[in-house]
Amino acid sequence: MDSTCCKSASCTAPARCDATSTGTCARPVGASCTSATECGSGHCVDGFCCNAACDGQCEACDVPKSEGSCVGIAGKPHGSRTACSGTGACQASCDGTVRISCNAIPGSSTTCAAPTCDAATGIAKPAAYCDGAGNCTAPKATACKPYQCDATACKTVCLAETDCATGYTCKDNACVPKAGIACTGPGDCASGFCVDGVCCNTACTGQCEACDVPGAAGTCSPVTGAVHGTTRTKCSDGGGDACKALACDGSDRTKCLSYANGLDTVCKKPVCADGSLSGEGVCDGKGTCKIADNKSCAPYVCEGADKCKTSCVTSTDCATGFLCASGKCSALTSKCKADNSASLPLDGSPEQPCNGFLCDPSTGKCRDKCTVSDQCQSGFTCDGDRCVPSAGPAVVDDSGGCAYGAPSSRSTGAVVGLLLGLATIARRRRSR
């Protein structure tokens, strides 16, 4: 091969000289290629040296048995050409005739999904159609209940119960609820009785019977407690007396015979006053309010209006005669003497003088500290925290000097003698 003349013998297959055997070696139409410069035609299309530019959306140069020839195609565009609009069955395509572009997108008459009915779930889906914009419209699923699935859709009539969903039976070629299945009217039920919201085996109109009793739905059964539903007459409320309110007894279906409330129903609240708690009342299950005996709160006092205290913080939380200690009210072990000068043990042992202090009536014991003189006996004053003798009035002693405190024994004797003399004179005058 040289720049002016080309001999076939000098070209490496599949390249060859052009028709005049002049120029350079090049690949012929139909030979595989990766670049246009490799092809004598100057067109490398769809991996082959092509006889034309072949750039139409619906033409190609790689059609089997026509490699190298640009021909029209059917279906999807080849190679890197722009895909037709739409998806799946609703996607446009090449028709083999028009080469420039894909044909129109399928319209709404084109089926894009076949109808189905899932026997396991009882859900049917009708056929789906294209929307004219290249999309497949999702069909609306439908529950077959009360029927079963047919091949691709729900059954609409029944010949046997097997044509009906669970809980339904075939009656007059229609699937209707069995007893116990929810209903809205008698026409929904094979029995013709829709009672208490379920298909029932009887009319079930007794005051104390129902068709929705747990564990027996669909079967008319006696009830215990309150009347069921809204159509039956309610049991008496006892005229406002909780203990006289009635209920169904679970045996008699025609009327309420038992009492509704028992020992768990309070019919009278307790009242606490002056350390005494009046008895709480509870229903006895026989129509009567049974009231407990009154009781004393001692050693505690009332807490609020309806109960006794059960612990204490101070002795004010305790009844008279009790003292708060460590959160509990305990009985006093002593009491104060009438003039509060001594503590009197309750076990009969000797009294304990308070030695200037006053006895504390709240504890029955002598104080051992004071904060004010009122906590001291007469003749004593609170000094610091101790009760000490008070300073007495000034007196003249026998020696002629002044002294404070109690008078001497001689002065006392003189005063006593003087008083006795005055008393004697007074008696004599009265006797005259």
**336 with 359: CB under 8 angstroms?**
yes
Give the confidence band of 363 by pLDDT, cuts at 50, 70, 90: confident
The predicted model gives 15-21 an average pLDDT of: 62
- Report the percent of the chain where pLDDT is more than 70: 86
**153 with 124: CB under 8 angstroms?**
yes
- On the question of pLDDT at 16 being above 80, the answer is no
How far apart, in Å, are the Cα atoms of 199 and each of 162, 188, 222, 254?
A: 20, 8, 17, 21
The predicted model gives 334-356 an average pLDDT of: 92
pLDDT digits (tens, 9 = 90+) for 71-124: 999 999 999 999 999 999 999 999 999 999 999 999 999 999 999 999 999 999
Residues 6+ apart with CB under 8 A from 328: 311, 312
Q: What is the pLDDT of residue 162?
A: 94
Q: Could you give the CA distance from residue 145 to residue 177 in angstroms, rounded to a whole number? A: 10
Q: Could you give the CA distance from residue 127 to residue 369 in angstroms, rounded to a whole number? A: 103
Q: Could you give the CA distance from residue 101 to residue 72 in angstroms, rounded to a whole number? A: 11
Give the residue, 417 or 282, on which the prediction is more confident: 282
- On the question of pLDDT at 136 being above 80, the answer is yes
How far apart, in Å, are the Cα atoms of 186 and each of 156, 194, 196, 362?
A: 21, 5, 11, 80
Cβ density class 321-347: b for 16+ within 10 Å, e for less: ebbbeeeebeebebbbbeebbbbbeee
DSSP assignment of 238-282? GGG-GGG-EEEESS-SSS--EES--TTSEEE---EETTEEPPPEE
Phi/psi of residue 326, nearest 5 degrees: 55, 40
Q: Could you give the CA distance from residue 65 to residue 138 in angstroms, rounded to a whole number? A: 41
The predicted model gives 408-418 an average pLDDT of: 39
Give the confidence band of 4 by pLDDT, cuts at 50, 70, 90: very low
Cβ density class 26-57: b for 16+ within 10 Å, e for less: bbebbbebeeeebbbbebbbbebbbbbebebb
Q: What is the pLDDT of residue 1?
A: 30
The overall average pLDDT reported for the chain is: 86
- Report the sign of the C-alpha dihedral through residues 211, 217, 218, 224, in that order: negative
pLDDT digits (tens, 9 = 90+) for 302-343: 999 999 999 999 989 999 888 888 899 988 889 899 999 999
**147 with 155: CB under 8 angstroms?**
yes
pLDDT digits (tens, 9 = 90+) for 259-309: 999 999 999 999 999 999 998 899 999 999 999 899 999 999 999 999 999
Q: Could you give the CA distance from residue 115 to residue 117 in angstroms, rounded to a whole number? A: 7
Give the confidence band of 181 by pLDDT, cuts at 50, 70, 90: confident
Residue at 374: amino acid letter: D
Give the confidence band of 178 by pLDDT, cuts at 50, 70, 90: confident
Give the confidence band of 20 by pLDDT, cuts at 50, 70, 90: low
Q: What is the pLDDT of residue 361?
A: 86
DSSP assignment of 99-159? -SS--PPP-TTSEEE--EEETTTTEEE--EEB-SSS-BPPPPPEE-TTBPB-SSSB--S-S
Q: Could you give the CA distance from residue 124 to residue 154 in angstroms, rounded to a whole number? A: 6
- On the question of pLDDT at 190 being above 90, the answer is no
Give the confidence band of 362 by pLDDT, cuts at 50, 70, 90: confident
| pTM for the full predicted model | 0.41
Q: What is the pLDDT of residue 161?
A: 92
Q: Could you give the CA distance from residue 331 to residue 309 in angstroms, rounded to a whole number? A: 16
Q: What is the pLDDT of residue 61?
A: 97
pLDDT digits (tens, 9 = 90+) for 24-83: 788 889 999 999 988 888 999 999 999 999 999 999 999 999 999 999 999 999 999 999
Q: Could you give the CA distance from residue 396 to residue 61 in angstroms, rounded to a whole number? A: 155
- On the question of pLDDT at 246 being above 50, the answer is yes
pLDDT digits (tens, 9 = 90+) for 138-162: 889 999 999 999 999 999 999 999 9
